[in-house]
Amino acid sequence: MSSMADISRRRFIEAMGAVGSLGIMGMAGCGSQRASEAGSSSSEGGVADTITFAQGADPRGLDPAYVDDGESAKVMCNIYDTLLRYDTETCDVVAGLSDMPEISEDGLTYTFKLHEGVKFHDGTDCNAEAVKASIDRQLEPNRTEDMPYASFVYGAEDSNSGVASVEAQDDTTLVITLRAASTPFIKNMAMALAAPIVAPSAIEAGDSNENPIGSGPYKFVSWEKGQNVVLEANEDYWDDEHMPQTKNVVFRFIAENSSRVTALTNGEVDIIDGIDASVVPTITDAGYSLFNEDGMNINYLAFRNDSGQFTSKEARIAFCQAVNVEEMVKSLYGEYAGVATSVMPTWMAPYVEDVQQTAYDPDAARATFEQLGITEVSLYTYSNVRPYNSIGGTALAEAIQGYLADAGVTVNISQFDWTTYQTKVQTDAFDCCLYGWVGDNGDPDNFMNLLSDPNPSMNVGRFSNDEYNALIAQGLATEEGDERDNIYLQCEQMVASEAPWMLISHSRNLAGYNPKVKGFFAHPTGVVHLEGVTKSA
C-alpha cells in the first residue's frame, strides 16, 4: 500500500475505535447568476455572501427517505440534521441532534437524549415526536417501494433485524429498540440518506421531495430544475459550533467536466467535483486548489444474476476474463483511481491480500462464450460523471465494449441521464449495467450488504445467495474485531468466486476550488457540509 493508503487506513481505524462498542445538469452560464456577481457584496470581515458549488446533475429529490444518490445527499446534508453526525474529516460518530445514546447491555435498546428547543425551518418543534414521525414512515408496514434506503438503514422485518419500535417518552427522549443487535446501527444514524430528520409539516404536505423542511444550518429557498438549488443560512440554528458562516449557498448543475472547470476558472462557481485526470492540470495551472484524498467507493459492472445472458457463473466469469481491468483503469483514470481487487477500498481493511479476482484471459473468455452461444449482450450505462467514475459512464462502457469485441461478443450500449438511469435499471431487462457506490458510514456492512439487499435500487444485479445472506446477518451482530473481519473476508471471497459484479476501480476523492475558499473538506462519505465554508471577498 502507498503511504497515503496507510494514512487513510490509520484514520479509519482511529475513527472506528472512537465508536467502540457502541452509496452532475445544464451548461455553464445558462440562466444562473454568476457566483462572482451573487457574492459581490460582502459581510463584515470581507467574507463573500455566497458560496457556489457545481456538481454534474440535479438531485433526484430532497427528501432523504425517497432518494439514494450522492447528488441529492450533497444538498440535503446542509438542510437536515441527524440524530448523530460524523466528524468533519472521518467516519467517527459524534453527537448531533442527540447526545451519544445510552445502549442497553443486550445491544437492543438505544436511548437518545435530544437537545432542547430545536426548531425546524418553519418554526415547528424538532422534538422526539417529530423524530419518531420521520423514522416511523420508513418502517414496515408504513414504508413504500419508493423509499430505497429505508431497509438499508433501519432493517427489514422479514429478516428479523433492524428497528422493532420507536418511542417518544417525552419531548427530548427517544427510545429505539432493535430486533437484533447491530454493530453498524449507531453509524447508520449519522448517514445522509434515510436518517436525516424531516419536519412533520413537510411530510404531511406531501411535497417534501420538492420543498424540504429540516432543522439544519441552511434553509431551502428554490430549485430550478437543470440549473440550481438555492439555500440560505438558518440564522436561528441551534448548534453554535456549526453555525453557517456564509449567507447563501448555491448548488449549480453542470453536466460536462470541462464546463465545470471553465465555470470554476471563470469565477462563476467556487467549488466543483466530478474531476478526472485530464482536467487536473487546467485547474492547478490556473492557480486553483485541488482536494485529493483516498475515496471510500467502488466502481463496478453488475451482471443481471436473475435473468438474461449472465444467470450462469460461467458466463459472468468469461466476461470478467475478457476485460483487462488493470490496463483499462490505468488508461482511463491515470493516478486518480486504483484497480479494485476487493469490494471495499483497500485502506478500510486488508481483505485484498487474501482475495483473488478473475484473471484476464481473453482466449478462455472467447471459448466459454462460444460454448454458451453468447454473441451479443446489452449494457446499460449513465451519461454523466459519478463520484466513483470521474470520466462518466459512456467512456467506460465503450472501453468494455472494445474488450468484449476482441472476445467475439457484441456489446449494445444504452445510455441515459442519471435520474432516468436509476429508474431504468429497476424496471428494464438488461444483461449488465455500470454502477458504483460511495460508502455511507465507513463500516464494512455498508459495502457488502449491497449484495444482500432485496431492493433492486441497491442490488441492481439482483444477486441472491442464502449463504452470503447468512454471513451478512452474522456480520451485523458481531462486534468489531478479528472475528467480524473474517466474516467480511468470506463475503469478499464469495463475490470473487461467484462474480455477481466485475470490480473495476476505487476513485480518489477529488474536488477543485477557488483558493479564496476556506474550510472546505470533501467528506469520505461523498457529502459536502458547507456551513463552515467561507470565501474572502
List pLDDT tens digits, range 464-478: 999 999 999 999 999
Which pLDDT does position 45 carry in this prediction?
A: 61
* Gap between the Cα atoms of 232 and 487, Å rounded: 45
Which pLDDT does position 327 carry in this prediction?
A: 98
* Gap between the Cα atoms of 403 and 490, Å rounded: 30
At 352, the pLDDT band (50, 70, 90 cuts) reads confident
* Gap between the Cα atoms of 498 and 312, Å rounded: 9
pLDDT mean over 192-209: 97
Q: Which residues of 186-209 are buried (b: 16+ CB within 10 A; e: fewer)?
A: bbbbbbbbbbbbbbbebbeeeebb
pLDDT at 31 over 70: no
SS3 (DSSP) at 43 = strand
In 108-244 the beta strands, taken as DSSP E runs, fall at 109-113, 163-170, 173-178, 218-224, 228-233
What percentage of residues in the chain have a pLDDT greater than 70?
Answer: 91
DSSP class of residue 153 equals: H
Q: Which whole-number Å values give the CA distances from 347 to 12, 114, 450, in the listed order? A: 8, 34, 19
SS3 (DSSP) at 285 = helix
Which pLDDT does position 75 carry in this prediction?
A: 98
Which pLDDT does position 46 carry in this prediction?
A: 86
Pull the grid cell for residue 528: 459536502
Any idea which of 83-87, 274-278, 314-318, 469-473 has the lowest mean pLDDT?
274-278
Pick the CATH number of 297-508 from 3.10.105.10, 3.40.50.720, 3.30.930.10, 1.20.1090.10: 3.10.105.10
pLDDT in tens, 497-507: 999 999 999 99
Q: In the chain, what's the furthest Cα-to-Cα distance? A: 73
pLDDT at 40 over 80: no
pLDDT at 419 over 90: no
CB neighbour class for 172 (10 Å; exposed up to 12, middle 13-18, buried from 19): middle
Q: Where are the domains of the chain?
A: 3-27+33-210+514-535, 297-508
Radius of gyration in angstroms for the set of CA atoms belonging to the chain, rounded to a whole number: 23
Which pLDDT does position 537 carry in this prediction?
A: 84
pLDDT mean over 170-196: 96
Q: Name which of 115, 137, 112 is nearest 126 in CA terms.
A: 115
Mean pLDDT estimate for the chain: 90
Pull the grid cell for residue 453: 439487499
Q: Name which of 418, 527, 475, 401 is nearest 79 in CA terms.
A: 527
pLDDT mean over 451-466: 93
SS3 (DSSP) at 419 = helix
Cα-Cα-Cα-Cα torsion 321, 324, 326, 327, nearest 10 degrees, comes to 170
* Gap between the Cα atoms of 185 and 447, Å rounded: 14
Q: Name which of 90, 53, 91 is nearest 75 in CA terms.
A: 53
Which pLDDT does position 507 carry in this prediction?
A: 94
Q: What is the pTM of this model?
A: 0.83
Which pLDDT does position 158 carry in this prediction?
A: 66
Contact between 181 and 108 (Cβ < 8 Å): yes
pLDDT mean over 374-396: 94
The full length of the chain comes to 537
Q: Which residues of 14-33 are buried (b: 16+ CB within 10 A; e: fewer)?
A: ebbeebeebbbbbebeeebb
Q: Identify the CATH class of 3-27+33-210+514-535.
A: alpha beta
Which pLDDT does position 393 carry in this prediction?
A: 95
* Gap between the Cα atoms of 48 and 71, Å rounded: 24
469: Cβ contacts below 8 Å, ≥ 6 apart = 452
Pull the grid cell for residue 357: 479476482
pLDDT at 346 over 50: yes
